[in-house]
């Protein structure tokens, strides 16, 4: 049985909703929404301006606009414990390449691979000189550098079962 956050229960939301990407080191969603008081401290502390406050007064990540450096300033600014820097991994997100990717459509582009400090995006050479991108989930930190620089906005972030198992 899925747990329901107190905030959802009191507002009448009984169905599990899609989790929005929280800042690094966020505790599990139900506990996060219970502890987070909606202050903008983590967003103000974010050096990359990657955290925004959503319509529910909760912080969410702005993937595709900047990259997270995992500096930990957002977690240091959190006084409620909703962001816990003691977690083994900042979050369970990894890059996902969409069908609109230029390289997947025969146009030479390696921008995402060039931006990936962890070398988590590899290009497999195909017949005819094409190179197809693949994300190595074990090496992907989910920082979003690839999504921020993709000229076609063809990279999104998604939750990875592998990353969730490490945390």
Tens-place pLDDT, residues 48-77: 999 999 999 999 999 988 999 999 999 999
Helix/strand/coil for 44? helix
Nearest CA to 118 among 99, 95, 100?
Answer: 95
Phi/psi of residue 86, nearest 5 degrees: -80, -5
**Amino acid 97: pLDDT:** 97
Lowest mean pLDDT of 76-80, 133-137, 161-165, name the range. Answer: 161-165
Mean pLDDT of 1-28: 65
Query: What structural domains and CATH numbers belong to the chain?
Result: 20-88 (3.30.70.20), 93-166 (3.30.70.20)
**Amino acid 166: pLDDT:** 45
**Amino acid 125: pLDDT:** 93
Tens-place pLDDT, residues 89-140: 678 899 999 999 999 999 999 999 999 999 999 999 988 888 999 999 999 9
**Amino acid 40: pLDDT:** 95
Mean pLDDT of 74-81: 95
Mean pLDDT of 8-33: 74
Q: What is the largest CA-CA distance in the chain?
A: 59
CA distance 20 to 29: 9
């Amino acid at each position: 049985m899925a747990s329901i956050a107190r905030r959802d229960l009191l507002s009448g939301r009984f169905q599990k909703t899609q989790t929005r990407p929280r800042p690094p080191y966020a505790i599990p969603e139900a506990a996060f929404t219970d502890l987070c008081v909606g202050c903008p401290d983590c967003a103000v502390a974010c050096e990359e301006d990657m955290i925004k406050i959503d319509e529910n007064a909760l912080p969410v990540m702005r993937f595709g606009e900047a990259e997270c450096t995992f500096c930990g300033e957002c977690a240091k600014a959190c006084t409620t414990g909703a962001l816990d820097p003691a977690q083994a991994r900042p979050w369970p997100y990894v890059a996902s390449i969409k069908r609109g990717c230029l390289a997947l459509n025969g146009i030479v582009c390696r921008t995402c691979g060039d931006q990936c400090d962890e070398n988590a995006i590899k290009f497999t050479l195909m017949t005819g000189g094409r190179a197809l991108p693949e994300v190595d989930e074990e090496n992907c930190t989910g920082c979003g550098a690839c999504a921020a620089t993709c000229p076609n906005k063809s990279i999104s972030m998604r939750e990875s079962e592998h990353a969730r198992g490490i945390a």
